[in-house]
Structure 1
């Protein structure tokens, strides 16, 4: 394509030549001839670049927030390139913190150019796929843009640790565990007294009542069973809100909280599953054990539906269809922990819907709003009204402020929820 660098030069050359002829000035005629020569030179387009790209990542498996040096070497396997611009296509989830990811050079056949830059690692799989090359002719009048395939991967998996725990709601599966139920059996908390049946353990016979009335009776203790919990993490584009451009976003905070809570639940013997409230389909059925724990960590760390930047923007997302599909997958006895900043209505409707269907719902809401601006304050008020609406409907809500550690927020509500 043309760059229009010499736009108007043709007209100017004609004017200069005409003036030289009219005034019989040889200098003007020479100037017009030079301009005509430039026009002739710019008529030729540059050759299409034939390049080989090699990209090296200093540490392909860094920890989150680590700075990683990326080096790119481009070798010319074609004709001479007098003006070559190179732009590396850095994955969206990585921030360049040192050195631009671009380079300008000229390359003879067989020559190579190297440039480097530094990125800050963030959770997930980050794939470089191409490098963009723009070649111009010697006069800069024409340019050719092309992309060269060059695949490289940086994989950043956080070391999720068991975090704060939250009291679960009353319960659930036939597996023994730590959640109290309304069913009598073997446990540690008194539930009821019934008539003695042959074969009942002597330790559960109410001997005080036998001594007082002469009748044998058996103590029923409240059973504790394992909970089935499914985390639903809101990763739609609106959920990536943050109180400031440099602040950690609501999705990142929510995934960290989800990982910590899931680790605590699995350690306590509960069954845990996860999915994303997102245009991308992602589902891990509830389970337990070491292998399931590894699957859950892998899902939260690298699945595209939980990515550090919004994904699936090109796909239509219909919350009603998503809820229908989720209902088909959700076990009948499962509790739902919805992790969302609640900056719009879809997560509110989701919580209400599944609470009405009999699933115990808890909402963990990282607050992404700020009172620094009038608009931010208005968004915060609207969010507060949504959370208040959920509480009135009997849904547990943990409102988690940006500057507050999750463990502190969890402790703040744990006592109230346990009562």
Structure 2
């Protein structure tokens, strides 16, 4: 962009100057005549003004470009006049990426620069998840008269990367009983090896001596074997609702429900992986994002990268259309037959709970973690909250577990409360 325009700063001065000169002549007032002559001279000078040059270079330095959510970094911007003329009035606004908040300093400056001189300003940004590319700095230069200005851009490619650490606050993510034949953390309704008592049965040849109920043998003479509740690993897919309808906030400056869902997905992923479960990630939105269930530290790094940088998990709502039938068919083809789903959605529209019902009906047990973005400050907000509560009640009545989560509370605390309730 390179636009030259008049500022109209001297608009009307010529007429006023000529009027003053005429009055001075008519009244024979030297002072009034002098004012008129000076005014005419300034107006004439303004009409001969030429557009300022754009011979400037901008350098942007970021103290730390790889950050975690909530971290702060200092941005230092230097502008140098590499031309041969003085810039008497130079104003610059840096291209701060959308979504990043300035916490200290200012991303703008107004100064005058002689040839070869530099001006520096700095400010501090708070990082949020994702890749953030700086836009070009917007600059306006004016000549000495201020009658003409040139608006142009100064570029210096700069990117800040913010990647969640996937540190779990949850010890036990609530899962259903659909499991695979490997020892893990999910308790089942089957007896076998484990630590929690399940039942006793008649002794069978080959049963380990350590599992024989010797007290009962001493008391009744009968040989019985103690069985414990088996714990196995689960295959879990974390499904994050990233449709346009999920980008809701309780207040304008708050993170969206999608942002809370992504944070919860990272938390749950880390906890499940630490427990030995096979975990994957999928996005429910126009953009595709899929990480097949797996284990290990390499898998953890892949999940971290996906949640941080995939287009499906962008900070802003998607512009593309969402086709529910196509997306559910896509998801069903990818879900392993033994997978259960942890569905993360604010449940603030009619289709959101329908996803949980359909997946459950397909044979994939569903647990919903729902960040609550609603408030009760206005009548409309109270109505939205009541409708969301009704959707949660309906899902629970249909046998789907729902964790109603206030994002102001640690996810681990909320999950622990729900686990205790479901264990009764």
TM over 0.5: yes
Tell me: CA distance 1:318–1:10, structure 2 relative to 1, closer, same or farther (3 Å): farther
> In 2, Cα distance between the equivalents of 1:157 and 1:253?
15
Q: Is the aligned partner of 1:74 residue 2:74?
A: no
**Does the 8 Å CA contact 2:56/2:83 hold for their aligned counterparts?**
yes
- 3-state SS in 2 of match to 1:151: coil
> In 2, Cα distance between the equivalents of 1:32 and 1:323?
74
Q: Which residue of 2 aligns with 1:65?
A: 70
Please, which runs of 5 or more residues in structure 1 have no aligned partner? none
Q: Which residue of 2 aligns with 1:12?
A: 15
> In 1, Cα distance between the equivalents of 2:7 and 2:135?
31
Q: Is the aligned partner of 1:334 residue 2:349?
A: no
Q: Is the aligned partner of 1:230 residue 2:237?
A: yes
Tell me: CA distance 1:202–1:172, structure 2 relative to 1, closer, same or farther (3 Å): closer
Residues 346-374 of structure 1: per-residue CA shift (max 9 Å, x gap): 42232222122221111111112222333
Q: Which residue of 2 aligns with 1:384?
A: 389
Q: Which residue of 2 aligns with 1:316?
A: 321
Offset, 1:399: 0.6
Q: Is the aligned partner of 1:280 residue 2:280?
A: no
- 3-state SS in 2 of match to 1:242: coil
> In 1, Cα distance between the equivalents of 2:329 and 2:17?
72
**Does the 8 Å CA contact 1:163/1:257 hold for their aligned counterparts?**
no
Q: Which residue of 2 aligns with 1:141?
A: 147
**Does the 8 Å CA contact 1:76/1:109 hold for their aligned counterparts?**
yes
- One of 362, 376, 381 as aligned partner of 2:367: 362
**Does the 8 Å CA contact 2:18/2:40 hold for their aligned counterparts?**
no
Tell me: CA distance 1:50–1:322, structure 2 relative to 1, closer, same or farther (3 Å): farther
Tell me: CA distance 1:53–1:11, structure 2 relative to 1, closer, same or farther (3 Å): closer
Offset, 1:205: 9.1
**Does the 8 Å CA contact 1:171/1:180 hold for their aligned counterparts?**
no
Q: Which residue of 1 aligns with 2:41?
A: 34
> In 2, Cα distance between the equivalents of 1:156 and 1:58?
14
**Does the 8 Å CA contact 2:46/2:145 hold for their aligned counterparts?**
no
Offset, 1:332: 1.9
Residues 262-298 of structure 1: per-residue CA shift (max 9 Å, x gap): 2221122100111233443322111011211222233
**Does the 8 Å CA contact 2:341/2:366 hold for their aligned counterparts?**
yes
Please, which runs of 5 or more residues in structure 2 have no aligned partner? none
TM-score (norm 2): 0.82
Offset, 1:124: 3.2
Q: Which residue of 2 aligns with 1:2?
A: 5
Tell me: CA distance 1:286–1:34, structure 2 relative to 1, closer, same or farther (3 Å): same
Q: Which residue of 1 aligns with 2:296?
A: 289
Matches within 5 A, 1:86-165: 86-164=92-170, 165=172
Q: Which residue of 2 aligns with 1:264?
A: 271
> In 2, Cα distance between the equivalents of 1:93 and 1:291?
29
> In 2, Cα distance between the equivalents of 1:115 and 1:242?
33
> In 1, Cα distance between the equivalents of 2:391 and 2:346?
11
Q: Which residue of 2 aligns with 1:300?
A: 307
**Does the 8 Å CA contact 1:41/1:139 hold for their aligned counterparts?**
no
Offset, 1:129: 4.2
TM-score (norm 1): 0.82
Offset, 1:14: 9.7
- RMSD value, Cα: 3.8
